[in-house]
Amino acid sequence: MLISVSYDRKIIIWDNNYNFVSTFTGHAFPITSVEILIPSNNIATGSATSSNGGIKLWNANTGHLDDIIIGEGILSMKALNNDKLAIGLLYNTIR
C-alpha cells in the first residue's frame, strides 16, 4: 500500500503497482504528513494549520474516520510500534 496526501486535502491510496485504489477526504486544511500505523495498518494524517483536529486516524480498509486528535501545527509524524506516533509540532515541540 502506498499513500499520497497533498495540499488539496485528499488522501489517495495506491496498490504496490501504483494503481489507484481509493480516496479519503475529511481534512479542512492541507495535509502535511502521513504515516501507516503498525501493526493495524491504519493511516494517520496531519495538518499544520488545523485547530479542530490536527491528526486524523483512518481505517485503511474502509476509509472510515476512526478518531480525531485535537492539535495544531502538525509538521511531521513517525509511526512507532504498537500503533503509536511521534509527532513534531510547530513551536519546537515533540510529543
First-to-last C-alpha distance (Å) of the chain:
27
CA angle 50, 53, 56 (to 5 degrees): 115
Q: Place 1 in a pLDDT band, splitting at 50, 70 and 90.
A: confident
pLDDT at 3 (0 to 100) = 93
pLDDT at 87 (0 to 100) = 84
Q: In this predicted model, which residue has the larger pLDDT, 29 or 59?
A: 59
Q: Answer yes or no: is pLDDT of 95 > 60.
A: no
The torsion region of residue 58 among left (phi > 0), alpha (psi -120 to 50) and beta comes to beta
**How many whole angstroms separate alpha carbon 29 and alpha carbon 1?**
24
Q: Answer yes or no: is pLDDT of 47 > 90.
A: no
Q: What pTM value is reported for the model?
A: 0.83
